A and B are shown apart, each in its own frame.
Chain A
Amino acid sequence: MVAAIPSAFSNRSSRALIPAVLLAVGVLLLPFVRPDRPFELFNWDLVALNKATWLAWLLFTSSAVLSVLSWLRLPMLARGYALIGISSGVSITVFAWLASTSSYFGFGALAALVCLLLVLGVGLSETGLIQSDPFIASSIVLCGIFVTLFIAFPLFVVLRESIIVNGAFTLKKMAETLSSPLFMVLENKFTPRSETTIVFGIATAGAVLGFGLMFLRKARVQLLLGTTLAGGVLGFIVGAGVFGRGAFATSLYLALIVAPTTVFFGLIFAILEQRCRAAWVRRILSIVGILPMITPPFVLAFALENWFGAQGLITNRVFGVDTNYFKGVTGVAIAQILAFTPIAYLTLRGSVQGLNPALEEAAQTMRSNPWMVFTKITLPLLRPGLAAAFLLTVIESLADFSNPILLGGDRSFLATEVYLALTGRYDPNEASVYGAVLLVLVLTILGLQRAWLGNTSFVTVTGKPGSGNFSMLPRWLENTLQGVLGFWGLLVAMLYGSVFYGSFVKIWGVNGEFTLQHYIDFSGTGLEVLARTAQVALVSAIVATLLGFLIAYLVTRQQFFGRSILETTSMLSFATPGTVMGVAYVIAFNVGPWLLTGTFIVLVLALVFRNMPASIRSVMAGLSQIDKALDEASTLLRAPSSTTLARVLVPLLIPQLLSGIVFAFVRGMTAISQIIFLVSPGNLLATVLMLSWLEQGNLGRAAAMSTVMILGLLGMILLLFAFSKRFSRNGTGLEGIG
């Protein structure tokens, strides 16, 4: 009794039916264009029939034709080509109409284009041009278009602006900017010594060190050259950072301090969470690790200065020193380490929890001591996670502009120069040059990371279920790490305490009288803006996570033409500092059919494409630990890809997805660099409002707002984490946390 199955020859109706029908509905009911920036939900005057009658009829006709084609049981190949032809022809027509009439697209046009693209995807699948099922093919098409439009295109605009000034190609702007002392200067005219010599001396020492270390280990020539070069470059960065000046030197030096430190702390926390006997550690970790992330970065910087700055509570009041030491790289580095360690921790957490204890047990039974197990088994398995965390923090550090702007003192940083060039010097071309430099830097680091990881696959979760438990840390190590965590907790508590305190006293640091006035002042506009921000952040978090999940899945689990392009392009926005992306969106989406600036949607999009790469990374790391045979088993049990996703991969990746959403939401709430250019009066966001209050001297009100925000986000995160722990597969010991 073998069930009747469709054979290769039996013709099926097409999956294109639903988008084909929706096409007509969307065109009929939704406003096709906008008269102005805001999107309207419904206005009879703006629907296609009243705006572009012939286009509307074209769309209705094609919808009808496509529906009939899809509904009938026709030969797949021929119908596939028909679907491709009609959908691409009509969507090009729609686009051409929008562009030629300079209309701003509305929901109707958007719906029409999306439906047509879905049909195109189904067609590509039916013809076998994309050898996957219709769901996958449509996803590929849609993701490809989104990524091109909202990542590649704006970045292209930035690069264009850096070499095309007033419509003409020129390298003058580039040369001018790069040779400016704001960019980099080694020599200090006011000192008798030669800084240039010192810097190159340090670089040489670095190169010699790199060579020597590898030479002693008898490395291959290639590796030897690599480490020598790396030593030289690192030496130069350190030298230039310490003795030189300028944004380039300073930003690199900063990243070099911040990234390894944060990854180190992040790893400590992740491992402590998994292998520590004391339950309090996990409880503290779940709060402490998260706190700095849920705070707009400048608030932390402000609090830091309050304690350690020139007039700081500890530096000045307790020790009586009046030093500016804190202003500059030191202060920024401390603020960034505090702010980014949680990011590293969250990134590593997934990988650490995905480890298979059996591997370590196996190594132990082969008489490896714990240190060897850690360095030979655990660390190599964590390499994808470590690399992701490192890259993430390097980029965060390079891209961060609010800490440098508050604590940077007289040093200039790349991200701040982007910002200052645009908002201070009103020079979008100079801003674009800085943007291009940042881009190249981050891409270089990305390339190095690739070289390090290679194509190694790290399948440790196979369908053969692992069992066993992780061994606990040795006592002395556990105590040390707990000490580190304790110190961290204390520092963080101090900082937050001061914000909290500041929100309840008349004048922060001057008049300590209790008052609720700041909260009353805040609740006027503040609550409304906060709600708006939450709305933007939530929508963008969900979209970013789902889109990121889909792209990660496509890129790691499917074979198709353009796969690596999709991956690289999606990761580009990751490599793009927020300020650069912000500038890019302002320039790119201010004209033509894609007018988006000044709308709610542009904020959502900016945050989506900002946060999506992080979720791509975390899902990829998760997926790389799920044996591909699981997908294949599901497929052979007659599940189409969409079902495999829903029933196998999503459930297995729930911890990653949940943390992805939380992460994206929090970043959305606290983001500033990418949206400071994009906010508009109707769409003001919390961080921008807070920063303006700080600048106006309304410290208490800003403190009140951040207190509300911090507590709200904290509650939400704890809730979601409690939830995600229930789903975590490696749940031993995590279940018990109250």
Chain B
Amino acid sequence: MNQTAVPVRLENIVKRFGAVTAVETVSLELPAGKLVTLLGPSGCGKTTILRMVAGLERPTEGKIFFGSDDVTQLPAYLRDVTMMFQSYALFPHMNVFENIAYGLRVTKRPNDEIRERVAGVVAQVGLQNLEQRAVQALSGGQQQRVALARSLIMQPRVLLFDEPLSNLDAKLRKRVREEIRELQQKLGITSLYVTHDQEEAMAISDLVVVMKSGIIEQKGAPRELYQAPVTRFVADFIGRANFLSGTYNGSSATVGNYSFAFAQPIQHGNVTVMVRPESLRVAKDGIGLEGKMHSVAFLGTTTEYTVDTAAGQLEGVMAGDAPLLAKVGEPVRVQFANEGVYLIQA
């Protein structure tokens, strides 16, 4: 763990581009040495926040701190922040070595040090023997690593990622994101990562920040967001969910004909009940929401099914090898498991 890692704090950040408000009063703390992900749909202001941390944009209002230093007015080239760009932004007229060494050359480090440090990061990211290659002659994954190496070699106070994996194919994406995660944890560099892929966000982050049109909807550990989303938007964005309108009286919740014991500190009265697909339990009879099996699809490791109820169609998932209790068209009762159910203020 890196002893010198600093926390990054955004205080009431607002960013406007003319009439467009890209970011609306965002406050956020990135704990030292942790990886925080900004997650949200296109245009919600993720990149803008990232660029403000980098110093490439100045906030319209608010302050940014690295540790106790106010860096709001500090120009980008003095911030000691590096970034991995979606397009990699490798310098096409330099070979792999020169690309990686660029920052050290610019800061006029001695040649010996440069050689040593480049060799170090090259080994870290697994680019051995490619140092003299032209960057054009590398595969997408290799170019990605060069970009990573170029960022890491500066031992930055903060490391930024703007959808760095979106140009890679699915398999490679998974591998590279694990490598990034591993390296980041090993080096303990405070990191901010932008993506609109929730799976990527869940896999890589210590903390996920869900954004929607310029404001933060919710922040928390991946598991927390999944289990206790405070808004329907978050529940929908993180994983899949069924939303049912119901009521809550402090000890139990009711949806249609189905009441179940439940405790959650939330105002009594009308609520939206969020149920994850894997939390549905289907039975032939007994207590439960009345419904009819609508479809069943066997997908190998899992089986997905839908049930029509008076409260709407529910999506369910169960293990692929679990016995099927009802056929399509048969009447069923649906119950909810204890986990994966959460009440949202209606």
Q: Which residue numbers of A lie inside 8 Å of B, CB to CB?
A: 1-3, 5-9, 128, 131-133, 461-467, 627, 629-630, 632-641, 643, 647-648, 651-652, 729
Known pairs A7-B74, A465-B134 / 13 extra A-B pairs, C-beta < 8 Å: A2-B155, A3-B155, A7-B69, A133-B75, A462-B87, A463-B91, A464-B143, A633-B89, A633-B150, A635-B77, A636-B82, A640-B77, A652-B92
- B155 and A1: CB pair below 8 A? yes
Contact status A9-B69, CB under 8 Å: yes
With a CB–CB cut-off of 8 A, which chain A residues contact B78?
5-6, 638
Interface string of B70-107 (1 = CB under 8 A from A): 11111111111111011111111100000000110111
CB within 8 Å for A633 and B85 given contacts A8-B70, A639-B106: yes
Given contacts A8-B73, A464-B167, A640-B77, contact A635 B56 (CB under 8 A): yes
Q: Which of B126-169 contact A (CB under 8 A)?
A: 134-138, 140, 143, 150, 154-155, 157, 167
**A131 and B85 within 8 A (CB):** no
In the complex where A464-B143, A638-B154 touch, is A5 in contact with B91 (Cβ < 8 A)? no
Q: Which of A1, A3, A630, A641 contacts B89 (CB 8 A)?
A: A630
Most buried by B among A9, A133, A633: A633
Which residues of chain B are near A462, meaning CB under 8 Å?
Answer: 87, 89
What residues on B are CB-neighbors of A5 within 8 Å?
78, 80, 157
Q: State whether A629 and B89 are in contact (beta carbons under 8 Å apart), knowing that A7-B69, A636-B54, A638-B80 are contacts in the complex.
A: yes
Can you report 11 A-B residue pairs in the complex whose CB atoms are below 8 A from each other?
A5-B80, A465-B90, A629-B86, A635-B77, A636-B55, A636-B77, A636-B79, A638-B78, A639-B103, A641-B77, A652-B92
Considering the chains assembled together, what is the distance between the CA atoms of A472 and B169 in angstroms?
Answer: 31
Q: Given A131-B58, A463-B91, check contact A637 B102 (CB 8 Å).
A: yes
Partner of B88, one of A9, A461, A463, A635: A463
A340 to chain B, nearest CB (A): 32
> CB distance A465 to B92 under 8 Å?
yes
Report Cα–Cα, A627/B103, bound state, in Å: 19
- Is A648 touching B54 in the complex (CB atoms < 8 A)? no
Instruction: Determine the distance from Cα of A638 to Cα of B80 in the docked complex, in whole angstroms.
Output: 7
CA distance A709 to B324 in the complex (A): 93
User: Does B4 interact with chain A (Cβ within 8 Å)?
Assistant: yes
Please give me the residue from chain A that is nearest to B84 by CB atom: A633
Interchain CB contact under 8 A, B154 and A637? yes
User: Could you say which residues of chain A place their CB within 8 Å of the CB of B157?
Assistant: 2, 5
The smallest C-beta distance from A10 to any residue of chain B, in angstroms, reads 9
Q: Are A636 and B76 in contact (CB under 8 A)?
A: yes
A651–B154 CA distance with the chains assembled, in angstroms:
23
How far is A6 from B66 in the complex, measured between Cα atoms in Å? 12
Flag if B155 contacts A463 (CB, 8 Å).
no
Q: Most chain-B Cβ atoms within 10 A of its Cβ — which of A465, A627, A647?
A: A465
Contacts of A641 in B (CB 8 A): 77
Main SS of chain A's interface residues?
Answer: loop
A648 CB contacts on chain B under 8 angstroms:
91
B154 contact set on A, CB distance < 8 A = 637-638
**A637 touching B106, Cβ below 8 Å:** yes
Which chain B residues lie closer than 8 Å to A133 at the CB level? 75, 77
How far apart sit A131 and B74, CA to CA, in the bound complex (Å)?
10
Per CB-CB distance, the 6 closest pairs between chain A and chain B, nearest first, are A463-B89, A637-B103, A465-B136, A629-B89, A633-B89, A7-B69
| Contact pattern, B 47-77, Cβ under 8 Å of A = 1, otherwise 0 | 0000000111010000000100111111111
Residues A633 and B83 in contact in the complex (CB < 8 Å), given A9-B69, A627-B89: yes
Cα-based distance from A699 to B126 in the complex (angstroms): 72
- Verify B77–A632 contact, CB threshold 8 A: no
| Given A2-B157, A462-B87, A729-B93; A467-B136 close (CB under 8 Å) | yes
User: Given A643-B106, A652-B93, are A466 and B81 also a contact pair (CB < 8 Å)?
Assistant: no
Contacts from B to A (Cβ < 8 Å): 4, 54-56, 58, 66, 69-83, 85-93, 102-103, 105-107, 134-138, 140, 143, 150, 154-155, 157, 167
Among residues of B, the one whose C-beta sits closest to the C-beta of A639 is B106
List chain B residues, Cβ under 8 A from A2.
4, 80, 155, 157
A243 to chain B, nearest CB (A): 50
List residues of chain A with CB within 8 A of the CB of B88. 463-464
Contact status B76-A637, CB under 8 Å: no
Which residue of B has the minimal Cβ distance to A628? B89
In the complex, chain B residues whose CB is within 8 Å of the CB of A629: 85-87, 89
A634, B81: Cα distance in complex, Å = 11
Give, as a whole number of angstroms, the nearest-CB distance from A729 to chain B.
Answer: 7
In the complex, what's the smallest C-beta–C-beta distance from B139 to chain A, in angstroms? 11
Q: Is the CB of B143 within 8 A of A632?
A: no
A636 pairs with B83, CB closer than 8 A: yes
Indicate if the CB atoms of A632 and B71 lie closer than 8 Å. no
Chain B residues whose CB sits within 8 angstroms of the CB of A9 once the complex forms: 69-70
The complex places the Cα of A640 from the Cα of B92 at a distance, in Å, of: 19
Measured between beta carbons, the chain A residues less than 8 angstroms from B4 are: 1-2
Q: Closest CB of chain A to B120's CB: distance in Å? A: 12
C-alpha gap A463/B71 in the complex (Å): 28
The answer to whether B106 touches A638, judged by C-beta atoms less than 8 angstroms apart, is yes
How far is the CB of B340 from the nearest CB of chain A, in Å?
41
List residues of chain A with CB within 8 A of the CB of B75: 132-133
B70 (CB) vs chain A CBs: closest residue: A8
Asked whether A632 lies within 8 Å of B83 as measured between CB atoms, the reply is yes
CB proximity of A359 to chain B, nearest CB, Å:
15
Of the listed residues A131, A133, A463, A634, the one surrounded by the most CB atoms of chain B closer than 10 A to its CB is A463
Q: Tell me which residues across on chain B come within 8 A of A8, comparing CB atoms.
A: 69-74
Distance between Cα atoms of A638 and B87 in the complex (Å): 19
User: In whole Å, how far is B93's beta carbon from the nearest beta carbon of chain A?
Assistant: 5
A701 to B163, alpha carbons, bound, how many Å?
Answer: 68
Tell me the smallest distance from the CB of A351 to a CB of chain B, in Å. Answer: 17
Nearest chain B CB to A288 CB, angstrom units:
30
In the complex, residue of chain B having the shortest beta-carbon distance to the beta carbon of A77: B73
CB distance from A695 to the nearest CB of B (A): 50
Q: Do B71 and A7 touch across chains, with their CB atoms under 8 A apart?
A: yes
CA distance A629 to B91 in the complex (A): 10
Q: Is A639 in contact with B77, judged by CB distance below 8 angstroms?
A: yes
Give the residues in chain B near A634, CB-CB below 8 Å: 91, 102, 106
B91 touches A630 (CB 8 A): yes
- The chain B residue sitting closest to A459, CB to CB, is B87
In the complex, what distance in Å separates the CA atom of A633 from the CA atom of B148?
12
Q: How far does the alpha carbon of A2 sit from the alpha carbon of B154 in the complex, in Å?
A: 9
Measured CA separation A222–B81 after assembly (Å): 48
Give Cα distance in the complex from A633 to B147, angstroms: 10
Shortest A406–chain B CB gap in Å is 46
Complex: A638 Cα to B77 Cα, angstroms: 4
The smallest C-beta distance from B146 to any residue of chain A, in angstroms, reads 10
Of B66, B79, B150, chain A has the most CB atoms within 10 Å of the CB of B79
Residues of B within 8 A of A630 (CB): 89, 91
Contact B89 A635 (CB under 8 A): no
User: Most chain-A CB neighbours within 10 Å: which of B4, B54, B76?
Assistant: B76
Instruction: State A5–B107 Cα separation when bound (angstroms).
Output: 12
A639 contact set on B, CB distance < 8 A: 77, 102-103, 106
Complex: A638 Cα to B157 Cα, angstroms:
12
Q: What's the nearest-Cβ distance from chain B to residue A146, in Å?
A: 25
Most buried by B among A1, A132, A637, A651: A637
Please report the C-alpha to C-alpha distance between residue A647 and residue B108 in the assembled complex, in whole angstroms. Answer: 13
**Interchain CB contact under 8 A, A632 and B70:** no
Assembled-state Cα–Cα distance A143/B239 (Å): 55
A98 to chain B, nearest CB (A): 36
Q: What distance in Å separates the Cβ of A464 from its nearest Cβ neighbour in chain B?
A: 5
Judge whether B70 and A638 touch: CB under 8 Å: no
Chain B residues positioned under 8 Å from A640 (CB to CB): 77
Name A632's contact: one of B56, B74, B107 (CB within 8 Å): B56
Contact status A463-B106, CB under 8 Å: no
Q: Is the CB of A463 within 8 A of B136?
A: no
User: In the assembled complex, how far is the CB of residue B316 from the closest CB belonging to chain A, in whole angstroms?
Assistant: 40
Contact between chains at A627 and B87 (CB < 8 Å): yes
In the complex, chain A residues whose CB is within 8 Å of the CB of B81: 636
Residue contact A632 to B93, C-beta cutoff 8 Å: no
**Given A636-B76, A637-B103, do A463 and B83 touch, yes or no (CB 8 Å)?**
no
Bound Cα distance from A634 to B98, whole angstroms: 12
